[in-house]
Structure 1
Amino acid sequence: MSDPDTTDPSDPESITATVDAVVDVVARTAPEVREGLPGRRVAAEGQNPSGETQMAADVFADDLLCDRLGAVSGVGTYASEEREATVDVGSGVSVCVDPLDGSSNLEPNAAMGTIVAVYEGPLPATGHDIRAAAYVLYGPITTMVVARGDSVTEYVIRDGGDYDVLTRDVRLPDDPTVYGFGGRVPNWVEPFKEFAADVESDPSMKLRYGGAMIGDVNQVLTYGGIFAYPTLSHAPESKLRTQFEGYPVGFIVEAAGGASSDGHQSLLDVDPGDLHARTPVYVGNQRLIDDLESRFEK
């Protein structure tokens, strides 16, 4: 865990230095997370706070990231989708982690990722407290996308943990071509069904849905389009966690020139609720998000 330090957690330069250190730790830990996946494609004994069955890999990645991020000077709190409560690791910013987004993809050996958000202030934080967000994508190669302010950078991570810039100033293409929608179709609410039908009828749009949110969001960043885990008839709050998924993904997509929404407003404006609160998530090109929100206003 963090050693005592004299950094001022409210000082912008201190926060910037801490963000840089967090990003470095996440990048250098990613190969170890990836290397630890074989042999951990089985269910663990417990469930996470959302009632989902944990994989052994979820627990492994969470423990590793807690140890590594908890040792960063300037990090005061560590929180994980896999833990009920926050962990006090020192003094400074709060770091929220989804250690292994899409871990259900372990069995079929499909893509998954790690999501990290850095907040200034205690948890649960608001979307406007976020100072940086990042995700690692464990695909055919390991990449990391980092948003700081209104700048988004993509890195490639080498096996030894070194990482290099792959793309500077990542921006959503102006002409969207992909979409991915989560949840069971019978559980979609009518406004979203109408929107989805129009998107699916557009010959320029191609379905890209892989079961790991961060992989689907990366498709949207690469090709332009929209990802949604929508409002559901039996669960208005939907599935994805605000602190761990909604805020960071919204922050990244907006920084890349796109838009985010819960169906009515930017994801960054959503009430945080408790630590494990959920929110519908819609992210993509501005015109698609505008069209979507117009359906919910009718």
Structure 2
Amino acid sequence: MGNPGSRSDLDADETSIVTPIIETLADAVPKIRTAFETHRAYEGEENPSGEEMLAADVYADELLESRLGDLDCVGTYASEERADPVDTGEGLSLAVDPLDGSSNLTSNNGVGTIVGIYDAELPATGRDLLGAIYVLYGPTTTAMVATEAGVTEYLVSDGDLDVLTEEVEINDEGAVYGFGGPVPEWSREFRRYAMSIQRRLKRRYGGALVGDVNQVLSYGGVFAYPELETRPEGKLRLQFEANPIAFIVEQAGGESFDGDSSVLETEAERLHQRTPLFVGSEEPMAQLIETLGGRARDPHVTTRDSPWE
């Protein structure tokens, strides 16, 4: 595995480090979108999480490994579709979900790509993130890019990036919610919370993490995929999905939660480790944390510092 440099070893600021990664990702978008039409069949193989892979999953993974792994700033490429990381030299570690929600291709619904940029060997804590990106392949293709400087939304067209929203900030109260998992397997506490939320927010849930979280960032609200009776460890992967999404939401002024504290505080033990995930606006997240008995984040502490006492 490559050896990511410490922050003191980095020659440029975090924003400039993320730039070649988002530009390379944007350049790959047209080919990934084309694969939605040409690679729709299932491969007959499972990824390390036990999920059957579409040909589009494999294609997107191989394309991104080739292009992102070739960057001088990248030392490790890890993917939800691969058991082990790929050593690409010296530099940062990328944890990639090449095609989030790929089962939605069958019904022609939204899918996405998620990239976590870690200044540490994997598996790593969310506090080791220098940046995070997600691309949403909707009616238009957009990208949310987060660094310590904040969150910017881009339109991605023909491989080019144009700023849509310079500073993305989630509102405090919110208008929408989206909750995953079978309702009978939710805990009693989470069912009580869900009943309260649905009285005042509109349900928006499409089955792709990127699409569901993008609605929460756009309108405010809360997304949750809680622990289940049959899956107490949660469903979403910490390195590839939960950490990058939590980083983006927190940098936009929102909150993240894993059932105990911020997702970014979750100890990383395995590359394909799962976790419950709750993210959203301050007000509905405060209610959720109180209902589930967790600890709120100190809003005066940055995401790279530990806010927990």
2:149 & 2:195 partners in 1: Cα distance?
32
The code of the aligned residue for 1:135 comes to: Y
User: In the aligned structure 2, how far is the partner of 1:12 from the partner of 1:284?
Assistant: 34
Structure 1 counterpart of 2:95: 96
> Match for residue 165 of structure 1?
163
**1:273 paired residue number:** 269
Aligned match of 1:261 in 257, 261, 267? Answer: 257
**CA-to-partner distance for each residue in 1:98-157, whole Å, 9 max, x for gaps?**
000000101000000000010001110111100000000000000001001141000001
The 3-state SS of whatever aligns with 2:12 is helix
Match 1:244 to one of 222, 226, 240: 240
Distance across 2 between alignment mates of 1:106 and 1:237: 27
State yes or no: 1:287 paired with 2:279: no
Residue matched to 1:26: 25
Q: 1:10: Cα distance to partner?
A: 2.6
Match of 1:232 among 228, 234, 245: 228
Q: Secondary structure at the match of 1:64?
A: helix
Deviation at 1:16, TM superposition (A): 4.6
Structure 1 residue runs of 4 or more that deviate by more than 4 Å after TM superposition? 6-9
The answer to whether 1:139 aligns with 2:135 is no
Read off the aligned partner of 2:289 and give its amino acid letter: E
Assess if the C-alpha contact under 8 Å between 1:9 and 1:92 holds in 2: no
1:219 maps onto 2:215 in alignment: yes
In structure 2, the residue matched to 1:47 is 46
Give 1:234 shift.
1.7
Counterpart secondary structure, 1:37: helix
Task: State the alpha-carbon separation in 1 of the partners of residues 25 and 208 from structure 2.
Answer: 19
The Cα shift of 1:64 comes to: 0.2
Write the distance in 2 (CA, Å) between the matches of 1:190 and 1:295.
10
Q: Distance in 2 between matches of 1:9 and 1:49?
A: 34
Partner residue, 2:186: 188
TM-score (norm 1): 0.94
RMSD over equivalenced CA pairs, Å: 1.8
Comparing 20-29 and 97-106, the one that deviates more: 20-29
In structure 2, distance between residues paired with 1:31 and 1:7: 34
- Aligned counterpart, 2:306: none
Deviates more, 1:37-46 or 1:162-171: 37-46
Q: Which whole-Å deviations, capped at 9, do the CAs of 1:9-39 have from their partners, x for residues lacking one?
A: 8325175543211111011111210112112
- Number of paired residues? 291
Amino acid at match of 2:270: D
Q: Deviations over 1:150-173 (max 9, x none)?
A: 410000011x20111010110012
Gaps of 5+ in 2: 295-309
Whether the 8 Å contact between 1:7 and 1:14 is mirrored in structure 2 is: no
Query: How far apart are the structure 2 equivalents of 1:121 and 1:262?
Result: 21
Deviation at 1:241, TM superposition (A): 0.2
Calculate the TM-score normalised by the size of structure 2: 0.91
Residues 15, 147 of structure 2: 8 Å contact kept = no
Quote the residue 1:84 is aligned against: 83
- The correspondence for 2:195, drawn from 194, 197, 211, is 197
